[in-house]
Each structure stands twice: as C-alpha cells, then as structure tokens.
Amino acid sequence: MSKLIGILTSGGDTPGLNSAIRAVGKTLLHEGGYTLIGFLDGYRGLMENRFVELNDSYLSGIITRGGTILGSSRDKPHKMPVGGKIMDMTDVIVQNYHDNHLSGLVCLGGGGTQKNSYRLASAGLNVMTLPKTIDNDVMHTDVSFGYDTAMMIATEAVDRLHSTAHSHHRIIILETMGHKVGWLALGSGLAGGADVILLPEIPYDEQVVADAILRRSREGKKFSIVVVAEGAISKRMAAIRQEEKDGEEKVEAMLKTRTGELAANLEKLTGRETRVTILGYLQRGGTPTPYDRLLSTALGSRCALEIMAENWGHMMAYQKNTIVPVPLKKVAGPVKYIPENHYLVECARHMGVCLGS
C-alpha cells in the first residue's frame, strides 16, 4: 500500500501555488509511488476533513494558473471560528490526520502558515512547508514564490502611471501591498523609477517628501511618482505606536485612510494636483512569471525528496542559488524586514530617491 501525503494552501492566494502543488505531487507520484490528497480551503478543510485526490490527471495543466486549485483561508488551527465561537481545533486536526492514515502533511503559506505548521509539528504530526508570499517576508529564504509576479505587476503599474503623471504634471501615489515589510514597494519603486518610496521600516516625514517633490519642480521636472507600501507610517504614527498604550490599534485604524490623507497633505504642501492608485488584490492575480514557476517547482520537488527521506519538520528555502531544508523552529515567528543598510536601500539613497526621512 502506497504512503499517503496531504497538502494544503493557507493564507492569501499567491502566484505559483499551483506549480508548487504540481511539483510536490508529480515528484511523489513519479519517484516514490506515493498517493497525494489535497485538503480544501486550508486548515479549515483539514479540520472538516474535506479533500480531493491529486492524481496525475488532476495535476496536469495547472502550472500556468494563478490562485490555488485547492482554495485557501486564513483560519488557524488553534483559533478557528466554529459555531460563532473561536475554538482550538488542533485536536480535531490531529485526529483527522491519523484517521486518514497520513504519513505527512505539506503546508504552503507565508509567515502565519509557518507558525501554524510548527504548532502542528509540535503536536506530533509530520509536517513540511513551502514559503509563498508576495510580501517576501518569510525568514531564512532569499525569496518566496509569488514575490516576482507581484513585483512585475506593481512595476508595470508604475510604468503606466508615468505617462499620465507627465501629461498632467501631477503627483501620482501608488499604494502596494506590504503591511509589515516594504520589499514589494522597494523593488517595484526602484524598477519603475519612482521618485519617492515609502516603507514600513522607515517612518517618513511628509514635509521631507514634499521638499523632495518641490526640489524636482525647481529642476524642471513637472511630475513625481510616489510608491508607498500599505503599512508605511509617518514619524507621527511611529511615535503614537511607541508611546501610547493603545498605539498599535490607533495606528492600524489610521492606516485605513493614510494614503488618501497623504495625497491631500502633499497637494497642500506642494501645490501639485495629486492622485492615488491602490493596486490591492491585482498584485496577487493572474499567471505567475516564469521565475515564480521555476522557483515554486524547485521548492516543491525538493520538498517531495525530503519527504521520501523522512526529513520532517522543515521549510524548503532558496538560499544562494540552491534549495535547502530549514527547521520550522527557526522559521516560525520572525519576520524578514528590510535592513536599514540593504543594498537596494543604499542604491535608492545614492540615486536621490526620497525615502521620506
């Protein structure tokens, strides 16, 4: 009887999930003679025992598809809405794992998924994970799949906004995803030639941003492109977060209207007409880039080989042009912020790109 492996996708959908599922499945089927089942809608599907068999036909033709064929959710095993209450369903998940006679479970997701997978590993399950996120904030991997596609979409948006900004002599603010980290804003902003890039890691001063735009005007440059991560905060907001008892909650509330207020304030300070474009979920959608397909395929195939070797409790990571297993204990919890001296940050500063500080 072949060994049975379960797989699920959790958290926000990301380009490359289907190619990763395909790589895990095809390698297990081809090399190991395993049987693979996919749990639907993340950990909720595992808790409710909803799954499909992922045979070779099911895995065929999905490498170019965005999203995830298995569906996803943000439900956590230990904090799951059930019957109007938030309940710890870890024991139910563990029981379903054993009732299905699973040899192991593969979880595809970002930082939250890595933490939840580690909890399940600590409960005695054989778990492996893959790093997916457009935010690129998973620790111990140089890059996560989904980031390249999202950065391409955001960069294309910057490219397109240049023409309308130039035609109307406007300030155009483009908001990207990135609630805790600014990798997406930094990458797309630099690649697209933005004049101002605002990141969660570097609190900004609106007057500094306005002065940079006015300086461009004096140099005869009649438009400016501002790329701002959704989690970028002003210095005033950073002070509130640090000094007030409920500062975190206040800042979260302020972020909901922050980009519009930034636009209004920059218009007052510069006298330039200002417009806002919020990319939102566009950054997650559509066909993954070839790079993301290759990265997710390599990660998924290596994951399957580690499963065959029964090297459980690891996340597959991309480090220095190779795929390596990293213990889940090291991955779960920390966030990969942009270092202040990162080479792209230094590059932006040397080129005169305003970072708001």
- Output the 3-class SS for the chain: CCCEEEEEECCCCCCCHHHHHHHHHHHHHHHHCCEEEEECCHHHHHHHCCEEECCHHHHCCCCCCCCCCCCCCCCECCEEEECCEEECCHHHHHHHHHHCCEEEEEEEECHHHHHHHHHHHHCCCCEEEEEECCCCCECCCCCCECHHHHHHHHHHHHHHHHHHHHHHCCEEEEEECCCCCCHHHHHHHHHHCCCEEECCCCCECHHHHHHHHHHHHHCCCCCEEEEEECCCCEHHHHHHHHHCCCHHHHHHHHHCCHHHHHHHHHHHHHCCCEEEEECHHHHHCCCCCHHHHHHHHHHHHHHHHHHHCCCCCEEEEEECCEEEEEEHHHHCCCECCCCCCCHHHHHHHHCCCECCC
Q: Is 336 within a domain?
A: no
- 15 and 122 belong to one structural domain: yes
CATH number of the CATH domain containing 19? 3.40.50.450
Give the pLDDT confidence score for residue 245 in this predicted structure.
Answer: 86
Per-residue pLDDT of the chain (357 residues; tens, 9 = 90+): 689 999 999 999 999 999 999 999 999 999 888 999 999 999 999 999 999 999 999 999 999 999 999 999 999 999 999 999 999 999 999 999 999 999 999 999 999 999 999 999 999 999 999 999 999 999 999 999 999 999 999 999 999 999 888 888 899 999 999 999 999 999 999 999 999 999 999 999 999 999 999 999 999 998 999 999 999 999 999 999 999 889 999 999 999 999 999 999 999 999 999 999 999 999 998 999 999 999 999 999 999 999 999 999 999 999 999 999 999 999 999 999 999 999 999 999 999 999 999
CATH number of the CATH domain containing 229? 3.40.50.460
Contact call for residues 146 and 15 (beta carbons, < 8 A): yes
Q: 246: exposed, middle or buried (C-beta count within 10 Å: 0-12, 13-18, 19+)?
A: exposed
- 255 and 301 belong to one structural domain: no
- 59 and 114 belong to one structural domain: yes
Cα distance between residue 282 and residue 300, in whole Å? 25
Domain count, the chain: 2
- 270 and 298 belong to one structural domain: no
- 102 and 197 belong to one structural domain: no
**Which pTM was predicted?**
0.95
Q: Is 347 within a domain?
A: no
- 50 and 131 belong to one structural domain: yes
- 134 and 246 belong to one structural domain: no
Domain of residue 246: give its range.
Answer: 150-284
- 262 and 294 belong to one structural domain: no
Q: Is 353 within a domain?
A: no
Cα distance between residue 264 and residue 55, in whole Å? 54
Q: Is 254 within a domain?
A: yes
Query: Which residues are catalytically annotated?
Result: 135
Q: Is 266 within a domain?
A: yes
